[in-house]
Chains A and B, each alone.
Chain A
Amino acid sequence: MALGTTANSYFVQIIFGLGSGAVLFLIASGLTLIFGALRIVNFAHGSLYMLGAYVAFELSSVIGYGNAAFWLVLLLSGVVIAAVGAGLEVLFFRPVYGRALLTQLLVTFSFVLIIAGIVRKVWGAQGESTQTPPFLQGGVRLFDSQIPKYQFFFMALALAVAILLWAILYRTGLGRMIRAAVSDPQLLHLSGVNVRLLFTGVFALGCFFAGIAGAAISLQGAIGPEIAVNAIIRAFVVIVLGGLGSLAGAFIASFVVGLAEALGILWVPQASLAIVFAVLVIVLALRPQGLFGTRAA
């Protein structure tokens, strides 16, 4: 079956939009989870994602580029970034819980700068590229178009993470405690739970997914220092659009943003950047708490 050329280009863009939305969800899920429990917005989340990409780059040069190596690198990158995140939380973010908003924002923002400098120093400003694992190389032929396999990989990965997160939150004791922390952290403390440790754990979990997202992007092709800022701004749009703290909202909003960007390029190439923010502003003007948000603005 063949589509006309316009329909074809739409189709391709939609797939790419879904793919980029999927990666966006991997980043935004951690961000919104952290906000829901800890009530801080981690500006450095995009930088940790970028760090995950570079870590994956390094790891794969050590471990290899085969299929099995790919999964190992993916997982290890996540773990490394989780550890880095836990360290940041314990050392620098814990002291600012409950302090003024400006302080919290700038403390997390300072790490955007710190990590950017380190990445530039270690890896240079020009970016790196790495090899795609064999099973994800090449494309799938659909409707006259060649769709790269890794776009579907992104979508599958996002779906898997969404299901995993849902399972953790609603089917495990840990998830129950996280949801309790979202509701009333002090009461949780009085119920005999070490809430500080829980917070660190949640932070690490969020960073784990950021690390995996970075690794997934890295193994797709080229990466560079600019992906951090790009990621965090879009992730902010996603979590505010979806409602701060809502995973379901983040899931839906990620794909809305991904599609809006991809289709925007087709419709009005010059305004493609602006479209996403326009969508955000319009939605929030009508519904300040976002699509699924519960906290009143």
Chain B
Amino acid sequence: MSSGTPLLGVSGLSAFYGKSQVVFDVDLRVDTGEVVALLGRNGAGKTSTLLAIAGVVANRSAALRLGGESIAELPSYRRVRKGLALVPSGARSFANLTVAENLEIARRGSAVGALVTIDDVYRIFPVLHSLRAASAGTLSGGERQMLAIGRAMLSQPRVLMLDEPSEGLAPIILTELAARLREMNSRGVGILVTEQNHRFALELAERVYFMEKGQVVWEGAAAEARRPDVLRSYLSI
């Protein structure tokens, strides 16, 4: 796609928790089929940025557009139906529901046009199929994260945002996860991922933003971001 209208365009985004401001005037964009990483230390404001884009925390923005269409006025659940999905951190699921029921709920709230079905999800994550009657609360962290990704896929997203997806996951599962995300990406889904674990994000991403104290302090290609001096200054690695 041309570098004209981004799939997800955010400008002048600020977010607030009660009286304190945690995100200051952030601009970022995700183009169709692009993977963008949002990196920074704990407390830099990455999660708050995602939550603000999803409409979960109090925020204001100059512009917030999905596919050129403004979504700033929409409540969260409407943004999901327009194709903006968020997988929050912590591998959250509906613990008292079975895996199958968890997926059903996601299917119901999806955007129009079912390109991805529940069977697709089972095919991509076979372990979920074998666990489909199990209560989600009994799953391991990795399994719950796969369930969360599966749920996100079912909402037919145009842009998928993931908050620290690699947290607590074993390397094998991370490889699987990266493959799935690349697959979605190749079908045109834009991906915005925040991470503390930069290795996972940098292998996946094409473009990177660094955040510090609620502001974007660096933007560039992933190859640039991998340079040690860059990493050292922004992540003190």
A residues in contact (CB < 8 Å) with B: 173, 176-177, 179-180, 182-184, 186-195
Contact = CB atoms under 8 A, between A and B. Distances in A.
A194 B97 CA distance: 19
Nearest to B110: A192
B179 to A, nearest CB: 24
Contacts of B27: none
Contact of B105 (A177, A182, A186, A194): A177
Given A173-B108, A176-B104, A192-B109, A187 B94 contact: yes
Given A191-B105, A193-B77, A193-B108, A184 B94 contact: yes
Given A191-B109, A194-B75, 15 more contacts: A177-B108, A179-B97, A180-B101, A183-B94, A184-B92, A184-B93, A187-B94, A188-B105, A189-B56, A190-B80, A190-B88, A192-B77, A192-B155, A193-B105, A194-B77
Contact of A187 (B88, B101, B104): B88
Given A188-B105, A190-B54, A193-B109, A179 B155 contact: no
B41 interface: no
B81 interface: yes
A195 B108 contact: no
Given A173-B108, A176-B104, A180-B105, A190 B76 contact: yes
Given A179-B96, A183-B94, A191 B80 contact: yes
A192 B56 CA distance: 12
B144 to A, nearest CB: 12
B108 A190 contact: no
Contacts of B76: 189-190
B116 to A, nearest CB: 14
Contacts of A194: 75, 77
A190 B97 contact: no
